[in-house]
Amino acid sequence: MSILTTIDQGVLTIEFDRLDKKNAITSAMYTQMAEAFAAAAGDDAVRVILIRGKREVFTAGNDLEDFMQRPPRTAEEAAEAPAFRFLREISEAAKPVVAAVSGPAIGIGTTLLLHCDLVYAADSARFSLPFVALGLCPEAASSLLLPRLAGYQRAAEKLLLGEPFDAAHAEQIGLVTRVVPAAELADVALAQARKLATLPASSLRETKRLMKGGDIAAVRTRMAEEGQVFGRLLQSPEAKEAFTAFFEKRKPDFSRFS
């Protein structure tokens, strides 16, 4: 199993458990996580959701080999793919969501954090958003939320260049709540999740709704737009070159495309 789920003291923990593949996320894993979020919404035993990876790596993002075995053939299929289903679930979760990030958090490993309420990062954490380099566009409404969070120019640097950045910078731009030593991350994140779980559930949900409610429609709209563009770009020559180069372990050549 590549996703582990446990419920203890009101905290549902969703853990990436595919270390041999750097916790790269398959369609089946996205489905598992989406179903876990959906089930948590109606489960009174769950008061908080905690997402974490391993100490070595949070997640390498989408498993490209798995993805290319079943690529969406249309923009509509892309919007309904398991990854986008998971993103809709996490973006609209009524209960608090906490993340613990250690090691690399690539692509969706970074964008999903925009929908978490508390994000704790190890000092070893590294973030990157390499969508453009793959001939694609961002997802998770990150094209909307990251500029709001970090400011346009800093978001543009992250989304256009896709260059990695460290935990201290992630904290500086507001993506991360707090940076802690790697050895302390699991305990700190779980302790904070358990604190939330002891608070009145209704007031937690209402406070979160009041803070995020004004953005729900905009996030839904932007996710749908990103899904449409993502599906179209996936069929582009640039994306095909990027994916071919990835599998051939070479640098892509986009010079012939305008």
Structure confidence at residue 75 (pLDDT) = 63
Identify which of 87, 112, 108 has the alpha carbon closest to the alpha carbon of residue 37. Answer: 87
The total of other beta-carbon atoms located within 10 Å of residue 163's CB is 12
CB 236 within 8 A of CB 135: yes
- Under CATH, domain 3-183 is a member of which superfamily? 2-enoyl-CoA Hydratase; Chain A, domain 1 (3.90.226.10)
- The pTM of this model reads 0.95
Helices (H), 74-215: 75-79, 82-91, 108-111, 142-150, 152-156, 167-172, 185-198, 201-212
Let me know if 255 is exposed, middle or buried by CB neighbors in 10 A (0-12, 13-18, 19+). Answer: exposed
Backbone angles phi, psi at 255, to 5 degrees: -65, -25
Structure confidence at residue 159 (pLDDT) = 98
The residue extents of the domains of the chain are: 3-183
The total of other beta-carbon atoms located within 10 Å of residue 257's CB is 10
Over its length of 258 residues, how does the chain's per-residue pLDDT go in tens digits?
699 999 999 999 999 999 999 999 999 999 999 999 999 999 999 999 999 999 999 999 999 888 878 777 666 776 778 998 999 999 999 999 999 999 999 999 999 999 999 999 999 999 999 999 999 999 999 999 999 999 999 999 999 999 999 999 999 999 999 999 999 999 999 999 999 999 999 999 999 999 998 889 999 999 999 988 988 898 899 999 999 999 999 999 998 887
